Structure 1
Amino acid sequence: MSGDSATVRRGRPPQTQEQAEEVRARIVEATAAVFARNGSRGLSVAQIIEQAGLARPTFYRYFGNASEPLHVVLTASNDGLVGAIREALTGTDEPVQLGIRLIDAYVDWARGHGPMLRPLFAELHDPGSPVSAYRERALDDIRDLVRKTFDELDRPVPAPLDMDAALHVCEYIVYRLTAGTEPGSDPDPALDSEARVTMIRVLLVTLGTRDDLAYAMELPGLFRDA
């Protein structure tokens, strides 16, 4: 038997594409778990491979450093939020219903993150964290979606400051509503209802028109009586 043949036989069998994708997904899932515990500054290859139960050479076959799988995690998070809001902004031209659909999309996105939501929100305003840059990209995409939707509905496009105020307030309320809850768990009905009403009021005041507010004033329970 030639040396070349012996080498081929002793070598590791080639991975199928499906096996390679499974390992890559396993690394990304482990990265999300470590990020949820320690944030981006506490992320390391050593912790990822320990979480995934893989050898270091296996990790480096797919990623060059710990930041690369984190970027996969953050990209998926952004795509999920922007995609959900894009879908929420279609199918109705009624302003209150539009606001409710947008809020539901945001809340559902947040609940799907479970413990990963804490470091995501904690690092939103940290310029040294990749989370901050990804958040700005998501907000840019959401601003564009809102402007496009309002334009298509022949409604006044909100001023940039009004739009940012609406997005930031809703972002904070969504965090308050979903932080600490397990994925798939039922929210506190009282807190859920209160949060949604608050967000609807914020969206109406910052993004709505005088006619929208007049309509909303007739809806029971949306604004408190004097």
Structure 2
Amino acid sequence: MSGDVVVPAHNGVRRGRPPQTPEQADEVRARIELATAAVFTEHGSRGLSVARIIERAGISRPTFYRYFGNAEQPLHSLLTLSNEGLVGGIRDALARSFEPVQLGIAIIDAYLEWARGHGPMLRPVFAELHDPASPVSGYREEAFDDIRALVRAKFTELGRPLPSPLDLDTALQTCEYVVYRVSAAAHPGSEPDPADVTEARLTMIRSVLVTLGNRADVERALTVPGIFDERV
């Protein structure tokens, strides 16, 4: 009888690498995403490549392709988590707020908490916000759409007139710009100066209250220590 003889493995189980557990698969996926974040931080989305990611992650190319089809897919996972963090943080803050001044402050603190969790990766995120060729731009618009809807729903719940689209976008873009300024001023690889973050928080609170609030809101804010204190 000619041909190769196939010898089955013991008990009919094929020899070779044992299958990964779900926990092991999650660990490898997380390692790839962390490496992608590092490459994105250094090179931006245009500098992403499978070669750079696997070198940073310390894995083989076949291992990478077991989890992702190209270099952009893990970046999309990161941006999805980023959006969920920002929108979810603002959603939770709005749910805890029942007074307009408190509402504005809660939105700011949620935004700052989101920014704090990004570390150095915040720089390329902000650098590509308005680049139509970058996936960051699309995710930013999705997040803004969700935040707009949340704010309008909260205004309706409080029985207040809805903010105009221009006022709402101005408030959101002011927050975006101030956080960008603070992150850009920090030394590469380091956290922003706490004093700068404190001042940025107050700038954002004042801007949002004046843009989205009414006269009664501003008068109420004048009684809150630290927001509109006179400067020496």
The answer to whether the superposition gives a TM-score over 0.5 is: yes
- Which of 162, 187, 194 does residue 188 from structure 1 map onto? 194
Is residue 105 of structure 1 aligned with residue 110 of structure 2?
A: yes
Distance 1:54 1:131 in 2: 26
Superposed CA RMSD in Å reads 2.4
- Is 2:44 aligned against 1:42? no
Aligned partner of 2:222 in structure 1 is: 217
Give the number of aligned pairs: 225
Equivalent of residue 174 in structure 1, options 171, 176, 179: 179
Paired residues of 1:110 and 1:175 also in contact (CA < 8 A): no
**Post-superposition offset of 1:10:** 4.4
Matched, 1:16 2:21: yes
Which amino acid is the alignment partner of residue 194 of structure 2?
A: D
**Is 1:25 the counterpart of 2:26 in the alignment?**
no
- Gap change, CA 1:222 and 1:39, over 3 Å in 2: same
Q: Which of 145, 150, 156 matches 1:140?
A: 145
Partner of 2:8: 5
Specify the SS of the correspondent of 2:166. Answer: helix
TM-score by length of 1: 0.91
Letter in 2 for 1:54: I
* Structure 2 counterpart SS, 1:5: coil
Residue 220 (structure 1) shift: 4.7
TM-score between the two structures when normalised by the length of structure 2? 0.88
- Match 2:81 to one of 76, 98, 108: 76
Structure possessing the higher radius of gyration over alpha carbons: 2
List per-residue Cα deviations over 1:2-51 (Å, max 9, x = no partner).
Answer: 52526965422211222111111111111111111111000000000001
Alignment match, 1:197: 202
In structure 2, C-alpha distance between the alignment counterparts of 1:146 and 1:95, rounded to whole Å: 11
| 8 A contact 1:35–1:119 mirrored in 2 | yes
- Which stretches in structure 2 are left out of the alignment for 5+ residues? none
One-letter identity of the residue aligned with 1:85: I
Determine which structure has greater relative contact order: mean sequence separation of CA pairs < 8 Å that are 6+ residues apart, divided by chain length.
Answer: 1
Letter in 1 for 2:157: E
Of residues 128, 135, 159, the one that matches 2:133 is 128
**For residues 49-99 of structure 1, what are the alpha-carbon distances to aligned partners after superposition, in whole Å with 9 as ceiling and x for unaligned?**
001000000101111100111100100000000000001112222222211
Task: Identify which range, 101-110 or 87-96, moves more after superposition.
Answer: 87-96
Change (3 A) 1:161 1:106: same
Long gaps (5+) in structure 1 = none
Question: Structure 1 residues 205 and 216, CA, compared in 2 at 3 Å: closer, same or farther?
Answer: same
Between the aligned residues of both structures, percent identity stands at 64
Asked whether the equivalents of residues 27 and 52 of structure 1 are also in contact (C-alpha less than 8 Å), the reply is: yes
Work out whether 1:152 is the aligned partner of 2:139. no
